[in-house]
Structure 1
């Protein structure tokens, strides 16, 4: 296991331990929001850990009236409060969020050859610029996959280690998502959770797509 992934494990466990005790019985989902210090800079991602509660679902449904879809309110991140004070891991928006995680992630992607410098204007040749753009796009795809894998591995660890059950008294789904990549949500959710834990979410997602 890499130093970065080991750091994510420890930080993820601390984030669960920081969940408000009075709300733990009501928490039905842990949200893993994947984002970046700059929204399209895939070299500097972070993971914001949050949650939603049964009370919040009831509140939103009551405010929305009879036409509001209960499944959408329950499972779509668009309706979640995204109160992520429990943990921001990696290259967070504030310098003090997780400097250790940011440094470990940076060292790892450099070691893997995924890092590239900020795009410069050091050439006037269109062909060279096109080649550089294509290379950055290829590395961006690998950077996305690398961080996704790390977040999924963390979610699986929180399940298999028993930490989720220890903190909440029962397993609940961990739903990773990136608001720029909504099409990846179902795949990430399925990879991050045991089948029995994610069954209700997948049933809703399947019905929505059908």
Structure 2
């Protein structure tokens, strides 16, 4: 296990411990929102940990009245989840004080793995006017970004699995609930990440809804 993985696991455990005690019986999903300090800068990702409750689902449906959306969509689509992610932020959060240790560990790890890159075509790049060089830079940056995305996804999935297998999730909530990682820029990855992050039986209800949407 790397130092960054270990940090993620400890931070995730603290996030679960920070869940409001009165709401714990109502929590039916833990949300793992993957984002970046700058939305398209894949070098500086962070994980915002949140949750949703049965009461919130009922509130949203009641507020919609006769025009209520599909209850499954309100329950499982992150678009309806409250933006309360005070449980924890891990990595390069929007504020410098969010997780400076995690940010530093992540940066050190991606540099050690050779995934880091400086901005391409920046000041002083004497190839900036060379179309061929620019195209090569774009391809190289895209390839690095794909690796950076996969690296952070793996770290988030590892954390979710740890919270399940360590028993921490059951210890805090009294039962297993789905942990759903999602990136609003990569909605097509949601099902894959859900499968990798959870035991099959825990996400059976989510999968039933997701498959129905595909039909």
> What TM-score bracket applies, with the shorter chain setting the length?
over 0.9
Q: What is the match of residue 156 of structure 1?
A: 161
Superposition CA RMSD, Å = 0.7
Q: TM-score, normalised by structure 1?
A: 0.99
Q: Aligned partners of 1:191 and 1:129: how far apart in 2?
A: 36
User: Aligned pair 1:205/2:210, yes or no?
Assistant: yes
Q: Is the 8 A contact 1:51 1:82 kept in 2?
A: no
Runs of 4+ in 1 over 3 A off after TM superposition: none
**Number of matched pairs:** 210
Matches within 5 A, 1:65-144: 65-66=65-66, 67-119=68-120, 120-121=122-123, 122=125, 123=127, 124-144=129-149
Q: CA deviation at 1:126?
A: 1.1
User: 1:11-38: per-residue Cα shift (whole Å, max 9, x none)?
Assistant: 0000000000000000000000000000
Structure 1: segments with no counterpart, 5+ residues: none
Structure 1 position 64, deviation (Å): 1.1
Q: What TM-score comes out, normalization by structure 2 length?
A: 0.96
SS state at 2:41 partner: coil
Deviation at 1:82, TM superposition (A): 2.5
Q: Secondary structure at the match of 1:25?
A: helix
- Name structure 2 gaps, 5 residues minimum: none
Partner of 2:27: 27
